[in-house]
Amino acid sequence: MGDDPERAVRHTEYPFRITNTISVVMMLIVLVPQLGGIVSNDKQAIHEVVLGYCRGVDRLDLDLVRSTYHSDALDHHSSFTGRINEFLVWVETELAKYRSTMHFVGNHLAQVDGDRAVSETYAMVVHVGQSPQDEANYTSGVRYIDYMERRDGRWAISERWAIRDWIRSEVNNLSLPPRHVAQGAQGQGDRIFEALKLLEGGDSSSALPLNAGLAGQGA
């Protein structure tokens, strides 16, 4: 029987097909975890935008609050709707009513699509007035629904809706900590800014001891 040229060609192609298949599989093994890591990194960056906003408001660090928004961002917040510059003026005026605020973040879910994302964050916000009898003492359950964009490699809020789901009055239900206990502060006097100095220049002596004022008190 004579040789079959077509059969010979097919036999010759098989090793190449197998090799190509193996190459594709190996490429997927390498790339899929990397792609998953990219999405994970994006979600972490988006989460940190939310956390940065919370710290900025609680510490009355308006520059930090501004950094969590794009320059043309729009915010729908309680009775307020406006651009970021107007929002910062409104926030500063509102925060003047309180001795302190505390944003406690819970569930956070972000859906990423390239350079765009939508995130929903559940939070409880405690508002502390100037005295236990102050009507400004209340806790609210809120959700931050954020449309975020990555511009020039930076994730930030393009539009936010602050949804208030419930409110609980805390009049005569909140007490101020005793004077000898280390307390939080609005502005650069808060201990977090002293702690952050530990990262500047590697000189730990530039910061106050973090345990100062905590003796005899629980966390």
- Which residue is associated with the tokens 């060609």? 9
Residue 214 has pLDDT above 60, yes or no: no
Taking alpha carbons only, the member of 206, 210, 174, 175 closest to residue 191 is 210
Tell me, what's the pLDDT at 5? 59
91-117 residue pLDDT tens: 999 999 999 999 999 999 999 999 999
Q: What is the pLDDT of residue 6?
A: 60
Model confidence over 178-194: pLDDT tens digits? 777 777 788 788 888 88
Residue 44 tokens read as: 């972490």
| Of 146, 159, 84, the residue nearest 112 (C-alpha) | 146
List the single range of 81-90, 155-164, 197-206 with lowest mean pLDDT. 197-206
Q: What is the mean pLDDT of residues 68-96?
A: 96
Q: Using CA atoms, how far apart are residues 105 and 122, in angstroms rounded to an integer?
A: 6
CATH number of 34-173: 3.10.450.50
Residue by residue, DSSP assigns 153-186 as TEEEEEEEEEEEEEEEE-TTT--PPPTTS----S
Q: Please answer whether residues 110 and 118 qualify as being in contact, where contact means their C-beta atoms are separated by less than 8 angstroms.
A: yes
Nearest residue to 145 via CA among 129, 172, 130, 163: 163
> CA dist 113 to 13, 21, 43, 119, 150, Å?
40, 30, 11, 11, 10
Instruction: Give the pTM.
Output: 0.73
Domain regions of the chain by residue span: 34-173
Mean pLDDT of the region 74-81:
94
pLDDT at 163 over 90: yes
pLDDT bracket for residue 25 (50, 70, 90): low
Rg over CA atoms, the chain: 27
